[in-house]
């Protein structure tokens, strides 16, 4: 299977707190750096699960971008896309219970434009679009164009809603772009679906954390896991679902939450 993702290539700074933050004081933490971005995460998990994975994203020639590309290359992921000015950075604060809060700087990632795409980049069996790729222009136009090119090659198209806070800010653009794309499959957690409202697609996946997932109204239990860090669990789930179905997705999500960071 060849899976293509489109979205952001970023640098993830993961700060795992040993105790909750205390305003105005210090907290001990373990910090790590990894390549990141939702589309990059999905590609990494898909590659681990045996797919031929490709990421389409803006690439900057700064040190952060070089670090991120090396990380994806080491995982067997092909990275294609135009050159941008600056690699974005996401800081993920992971609480002792594994829950996380993110602060995102997307850098040049949203600058991906429709005319940046080469048709051969979208020669794939499945195209997965991050929700961040449909929130604003010009990348939303690039996402819609990518869907057209992928479908011309017989691919299915999936989208992840990604963030309820961004849905509240950019919901109109997201809905308009989704209507243009007409995805075959849409992922979202319960809060994202509540913020977004109803949307008709052949397959609708509701991510429910430790309670598993709901797929077109049917419930599937989460696989057991010792939760260390929930960052990227939804991306692992999406990758597994696309590669092998719901149980493969749930197994990948369980593996993800048992480690630090979003990538395998």
- DSSP state letters, 163-201: -HHHHHHHHHHHHHHHHHH--SEEEEEHHHHHHH-----
The structure tokens listed for 83 are: 């050159």
3-class SS at 38? helix
Of 8, 160, 229, 235, which one is the catalytic site residue?
Answer: 235
Q: Is the pTM of this model over 0.75?
A: yes
Question: What totals of helices (H) and strands (E) does the chain contain, helices first?
Answer: 7, 15
Percentage of residues of the chain with pLDDT beyond 70: 100
CA atoms within 13 A on the CB side of 39: 31
Supply the pLDDT for residue 21. 80
Supply the pLDDT for residue 262. 87
2-257: CATH superfamily: Ribokinase (3.40.1190.20)
Supply the pLDDT for residue 101. 84
Residue reference for tokens 């979205």: 7
Binned at pLDDT 50, 70 and 90, residue 26 comes out as confident
Q: Give the DSSP H or E segment for 88.
A: strand 87-94
Cα distance between residue 222 and residue 210, in whole Å: 6
Supply the pLDDT for residue 16. 82
The structure tokens listed for 107 are: 């850098």
For residue 210, give Cα distances in angstroms to 86, 187, 230, 242.
Answer: 36, 16, 10, 20
Active site residue 226: no
Provide mean pLDDT across the span 189-195: 95
Average pLDDT, rounded, for the chain: 94
Supply the pLDDT for residue 20. 83
* CA 98 to the chain's CA centroid: 19
The phi and psi torsions of 104 (rounded to 5 degrees) equal -115, 130
Beta bridge partners of 78: 54
Domain extent listing, the chain: 2-257
Give the closest residue to 52 by CA, choosing from 158, 159, 126. 126
Q: Give the DSSP H or E segment for 235.
A: helix 233-244
The structure tokens listed for 30 are: 């373990």
3-class SS at 106? strand
Q: Of 92-101, 144-153, 187-196, which range is least confident?
A: 92-101
Q: Give 75-124 pLDDT, tens digit per residue.
A: 999 999 999 999 999 898 878 877 778 888 999 999 999 999 999 999 99
130, 37 contact by CB (below 8 A): yes
């Amino acid at each position: 299977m060849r899976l293509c993702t489109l979205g952001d290539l970023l640098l993830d700074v993961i700060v795992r707190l040993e105790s909750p933050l205390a305003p105005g004081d210090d907290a001990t933490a373990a910090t790590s750096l990894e390549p990141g971005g939702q589309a990059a995460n999905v590609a990494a998990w898909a590659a681990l699960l045996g797919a031929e994975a490709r990421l389409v994203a803006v690439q900057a020639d700064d040190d952060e971008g070089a670090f991120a590309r090396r990380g994806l290359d080491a995982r067997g992921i092909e990275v294609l896309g135009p050159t941008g000015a600056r690699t974005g950075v996401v800081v993920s604060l992971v609480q002792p219970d594994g829950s996380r809060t993110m602060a995102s700087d997307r850098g040049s990632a949203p600058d991906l434009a429709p005319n940046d795409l080469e048709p051969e980049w979208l020669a794939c069996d499945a195209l997965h679009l991050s929700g961040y790729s449909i929130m604003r222009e010009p990348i939303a136009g690039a996402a819609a164009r990518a869907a057209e090119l992928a479908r011309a090659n017989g691919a299915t198209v999936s989208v992840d809603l990604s963030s309820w806070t961004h849905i509240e800010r950019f919901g109109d653009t997201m809905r308009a772009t989704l209507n243009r794309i007409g995805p075959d499959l849409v992922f979202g957690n319960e809060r994202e679906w509540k913020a977004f409202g109803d949307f008709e697609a052949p397959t609708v996946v509701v991510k429910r954390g430790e309670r598993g997932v709901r797929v077109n109204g049917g419930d599937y239990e989460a696989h057991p896991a010792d939760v260390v860090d929930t960052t990227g669990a939804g991306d692992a789930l999406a990758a597994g679902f696309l590669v092998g179905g719901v149980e493969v997705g749930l197994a990948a999500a369980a593996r993800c939450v048992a480690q630090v960071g979003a990538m395998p």
